[in-house]
Amino acid sequence: MKFYLFCIYIFILIANPLIGQKYKFIVWGDSQFQNPETFERIVHETELLKPDFVLHVGDMIHGYTYNVNAARKQWVKFRKQIEPLTVPFYPTPGNHDITTKEIQPTYLETWGEDKLYYSFDYLSNHFIVLNAFHNQNFDSVSMEQFSWLKKDLEKNKSSHNIFVTIHSPLHLNRGFDWSYVHNLLKQYPVRAVFTGHYHYYDYRKIDEIEYFCLNSSGNMKLYNSYIGYFHHFLQVSVDGNNIDYAVVGDGKIFSKDFVSVTERERAQKFFNENSTIILSSASPGKTELSYILENHSNEVINYSASWETEDYSWRFEPWGYNIILPPNEKKELRFKYELPKEIDKSNLPKLKIESPYTTSTGILTSAKHYANMFIPPTRTVKNVNAKITFDGNVEEKIWEESLIIDNLFVNKKMKHEIDKTRVSMFYDDENIYVGVFGSEPKPENLSAFAYGDIPLVFGDDDFELYFDTNRDMKTFFRLMVNPKGTVLSSSPKGRFTFNFDVKTFIGKDFWSAEFIIPFKELETSKPNIGDAWGFNVRRHRQQAEDIQSDWSKMANHPPYEPEYFGIIIFE
């Protein structure tokens, strides 16, 4: 009898080889050291779920550097982050991981020489990892790789399920024709394509292939799981030909299609990005401030606005508002407040603005954003008619007399940089002049490798200047230079759209730069006495433990935050 049952079992296995082909894997989205506590929590949650293996869709480190040692340190840091994982891990190269040809070898050192694009098998399933940045060609699938893909698919056409990862969601990219890749994939048993890069959740089904866009801990301007802006990972459960997907995040488990394709677009009119409320004075005493609340939607919205603070020596009158605002209208919210005698500028009150939001599927949630109180650092700039020896060396007396900044900060808790940065500035009828001095104990180790049509100067040692000439806290001019004098600049019109002169100098224990910037290139004229501009300075020092420092601390990674620039006032 036992032998008879055994024969039946063997017959069933032969007839249906998918029996016993049951497993699960986890897919992580972008991490790149943004919100590391969130990513590390996801690592621990993944380990608790005990998947058979983990896929990462790319952007594991910050990258964007030419410095090999800096990249190696980042990979050590990432490996430390995923150390709790006890199952196999399969990486996908993202733009942050292999930005430059100089650091690409560190990716291969970490994961293996064959890991730029590759494939592997698990049971009777096949997995393909593509590279959207092969040979530093961004957001594309190279012909070399496409040829390999065709051969790999044909070789594995008998697989029961095929899954693909690629960092960029090229199926959503209007600048790339994904159709020829998609048309190839649909000829084979490709079930899903996993992507990231855009820092939100997106799901759609095209010709029976399911496409996912994931974000595990990358920065976002908005945050609400019901509109796809939240940190999450994907659990994929495979049982033969049956495949189930669960989106895990915010302490909840969602179905794969819980956010419709149109929900995120619709929500843009109801959800606002965080903003700032600029305080003109930090002197103790009673004063007033206002905030403009706008309803960008086509519906009547009931808003609540209330102050949040950990320091209740702050006094606000009123403490909050309830406002019903018709479509496309705005209202000024006015508050009287009293500043405490002692102020912690790194932990100021914030105004929470909240309103109910019902998704297109009928789920009631809330649209919430904050207006963060901010006291910008302020300096005055002198009008001086003086000539400089334009050689990059800022040791002339005029630079000492026009010093406006003598220290930068590495975080929002106002921790000072170790090796000092000094910034001097003055102006005349035609130009604004800026001199930057950076202490550097080992100038022989300065990083200055940027090259190409878009040199990644911020990946080297560099000085960066930001000017918001009309103080709209949205548009600005950006100037960067590395020790070799390589420049990257941008304006509201795009990269390299305005002209200025800059020279650099490397000394015994420092390096410095002199900038001459015509007002006309900043699309303005000579400022009047009392005029104010938004301004900021950033420095990257690759030999430091804290590589990045700012005068007025803004986000460590783009998008930049002109609302957190300091202020320069022209004398």
Q: Measuring CA to CA, how many Å separate 511 from each of 66, 358, 451, 542? A: 19, 56, 20, 13
Q: What is the pLDDT of residue 11?
A: 44
Rounded Cα gap, residues 231 and 217, in angstroms: 5
- Of 264-268, 333-337, 365-369, where does mean pLDDT reach its minimum? 264-268
Rounded Cα gap, residues 289 and 281, in angstroms: 11
Report pLDDT digits (tens) over 188-236.
999 999 999 999 999 999 999 999 999 999 999 889 999 999 999 999 9
Average pLDDT of the chain, as a whole number: 93
Rounded Cα gap, residues 368 and 271, in angstroms: 7
Q: What is the pLDDT of residue 206?
A: 96
Helix (H) or strand (E) holding 55: strand 53-56
Report pLDDT digits (tens) over 184-195.
999 999 999 999
Q: What is the pLDDT of residue 374?
A: 93
Instruction: Pick the closest to residue 58 from 124, 123, 138 (CA basis).
Output: 138
Report pLDDT digits (tens) over 397-432.
999 999 999 999 988 777 888 889 999 999 999 999
Q: What is the pLDDT of residue 19?
A: 53
Which residue type does 410 have?
A: V
Rounded Cα gap, residues 513 and 437, in angstroms: 7
Listed in sequence order, the residues at least 6 apart from 545 whose beta carbon sits closer than 8 Å to its beta carbon are: none
Q: What single DSSP character describes residue 227?
A: G
Q: Measuring CA to CA, how many Å separate 161 from each of 20, 84, 170, 241, 402? A: 15, 29, 21, 7, 68
Q: Are strands 22-28 and 233-239 parallel, antiparallel or unpaired?
A: antiparallel
Q: Measuring CA to CA, how many Å separate 468 from each of 237, 291, 412, 472? A: 51, 21, 21, 7
Report pLDDT digits (tens) over 425-460.
999 999 999 999 999 999 999 999 999 899 999 999
468 three-state secondary structure: strand
Helix (H) or strand (E) holding 163: strand 161-165
Same fold: 20-261 with 378-570: no
Percentage of the residues of the chain whose pLDDT score is greater than 70? 96
Rg value, the chain, Cα: 27
Helix (H) or strand (E) holding 294: strand 285-294
Confidence of residue 255 (pLDDT cuts 50, 70, 90): very high
Rounded Cα gap, residues 325 and 301, in angstroms: 5
Q: What is the pLDDT of residue 344?
A: 85
Percentage of the residues of the chain whose pLDDT score is greater than 90? 82
Q: What is the pLDDT of residue 280?
A: 73
Residue 16 has pLDDT above 80, yes or no: no
What's phi and psi for 136, nearest 5 deg? 60, 20
Rounded Cα gap, residues 303 and 295, in angstroms: 9
Q: What is the pLDDT of residue 342?
A: 84
Residue 17 has pLDDT above 90, yes or no: no
Report pLDDT digits (tens) over 498-551.
999 999 999 999 999 999 999 999 999 999 999 999 999 999 999 888 889 999
Residue 143 has pLDDT above 50, yes or no: yes
Q: What is the pLDDT of residue 325?
A: 97
Rounded Cα gap, residues 522 and 359, in angstroms: 44
C-beta of residue 484 within 8 angstroms of C-beta of residue 89 = no
Q: What is the pLDDT of residue 256?
A: 97
Rounded Cα gap, residues 533 and 306, in angstroms: 30
pTM for the model stands at: 0.90
- The CATH class, in words, for 20-261 is alpha beta
Rounded Cα gap, residues 61 and 79, in angstroms: 10
Alpha-helical segments (H) within 203-273? 263-267
Rounded Cα gap, residues 376 and 281, in angstroms: 9
C-beta of residue 542 within 8 angstroms of C-beta of residue 70 = yes
Confidence of residue 238 (pLDDT cuts 50, 70, 90): very high
Instruction: Pick the closest to residue 425 from 463, 455, 458 (CA basis).
Output: 463
Burial class of residue 456, CB neighbours in 10 A (0-12, 13-18, 19+): buried
Residue 146 has pLDDT above 90, yes or no: yes
As a CATH number, domain 378-570 is 2.60.40.1190
Rounded Cα gap, residues 566 and 534, in angstroms: 6
C-beta of residue 272 within 8 angstroms of C-beta of residue 369 = yes
Rounded Cα gap, residues 210 and 230, in angstroms: 20
Q: What is the pLDDT of residue 10?
A: 43
Token pair 């998609």 in the structure block, residue: 182
As a CATH number, domain 275-374 is 2.60.40.10
C-beta of residue 231 within 8 angstroms of C-beta of residue 36 = no
Mean local confidence (pLDDT), 472-494: 96
Report pLDDT digits (tens) over 73-116.
999 999 999 999 999 999 999 999 999 999 999 999 999 999 99
Q: What is the pLDDT of residue 14?
A: 44
Q: What is the pLDDT of residue 286?
A: 80
C-beta of residue 35 within 8 angstroms of C-beta of residue 231 = yes
Token pair 């998947």 in the structure block, residue: 51
Tokens describing residue 153: 């698919």
Mean local confidence (pLDDT), 165-186: 96
Helix (H) or strand (E) holding 36: helix 36-49
Q: Measuring CA to CA, how many Å separate 38 from each of 92, 199, 329, 398? A: 20, 14, 37, 48
Q: What is the pLDDT of residue 417?
A: 86
Sheet holding 315-317, edge to edge: 285-294, 330-339, 315-317
Burial class of residue 265, CB neighbours in 10 A (0-12, 13-18, 19+): exposed
Residue 64 has pLDDT above 70, yes or no: yes
Rounded Cα gap, residues 380 and 567, in angstroms: 8
Domains of the chain, residue spans: 20-261, 275-374, 378-570
511 three-state secondary structure: strand
C-beta of residue 438 within 8 angstroms of C-beta of residue 405 = no
Instruction: Pick the closest to residue 511 from 546, 488, 484, 535 (CA basis).
Output: 484
Rounded Cα gap, residues 377 and 320, in angstroms: 27
